[in-house]
């Protein structure tokens, strides 16, 4: 990834800028984490999973700045199946995630974990929760969202969704895939992630 450092930095800078409208302490903490690694070198190895097949279509629905930031870097990212091994295989095969900054991420950070998640079309991500506080920003696509079992409505590109620690949340995509930024704060241990009945 050494030759991709400028592209990686451009992606982190774009994501940091996109968090500014949220204006909360949580968003500012994530912005600081996105800025800090510019002094480090990404160490993650490029990896792909089946869900990455939906990335070109998700980027087709993104704005020009995001497409430019992802051009040439998306294949260099360390994509993995999300869910810490707790998702059914058929669901995990239609999703992909990358930890850009955080424990086990492309750049190590002890206090936050943040990255991208890609959800395939017509996908229902069942209710799940975790100890971390979480902030999502939809980068492309449209989703129906639920928090604590209650629909909050349609969430589109440019909109944020915030979850308190342990707050159950679920989302589903429409006919097109969706790409989202996610950031965890507080207790960011992956072992606290659980699917809800």
- What the chain holds in terms of domains, given with CATH numbers, is 2-195 (2.60.120.10)
Number of CB atoms found within 10 A of residue 187's CB: 12
pTM of the full structure: 0.93
* Average pLDDT along the chain, 197 residues, taken 10 residues at a time: 68 96 96 74 80 97 94 91 92 96 90 97 97 98 98 98 98 98 97 88
Instruction: Provide the pLDDT for residue 28.
Output: 97
Whether the CB-CB separation of 55 and 96 falls below 8 Å is answered with yes
DSSP 31-90: HHHHHGGGGS---PPPB--GGGGGHHHHHHTS-HHHHHHHTTTGGGSB-B-SSTT-S-HH
DSSP 120-152: -TT-EEEEEE-SSEEEEEEEESEEEEEETTEEE
- Which residues does residue 182 pair with via DSSP β-bridges, in sequence order? 115, 136
Instruction: Provide the pLDDT for residue 1.
Output: 43
């Amino acid at each position: 990834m050494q030759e991709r450092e400028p592209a990686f930095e451009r992606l982190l800078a774009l994501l940091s800028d996109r968090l500014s409208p949220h204006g909360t302490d949580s968003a500012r903490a994530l912005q600081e984490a996105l800025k800090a690694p510019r002094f480090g070198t990404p160490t993650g190895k490029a990896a792909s999973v089946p869900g990455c097949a939906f990335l070109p279509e998700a980027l087709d629905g993104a704005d020009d700045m995001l497409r430019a930031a992802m051009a040439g870097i998306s294949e260099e990212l360390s994509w993995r199946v999300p869910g810490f091994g707790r998702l059914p295989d058929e669901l995990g095969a239609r999703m992909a995630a990358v930890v850009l900054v955080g424990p086990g991420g492309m750049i190590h950070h002890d206090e936050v974990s943040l990255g991208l998640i890609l959800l395939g079309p017509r996908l229902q991500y069942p209710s799940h929760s975790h100890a971390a506080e979480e902030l999502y920003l939809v980068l492309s696509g449209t989703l129906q969202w639920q928090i604590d079992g209650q629909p909050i409505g349609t969430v589109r590109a440019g909109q944020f969704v915030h979850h308190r620690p342990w707050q159950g949340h679920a989302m589903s995509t429409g006919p097109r895939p969706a790409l989202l930024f996610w950031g965890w704060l507080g207790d960011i241990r992956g072992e606290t992630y659980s699917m809800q009945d």
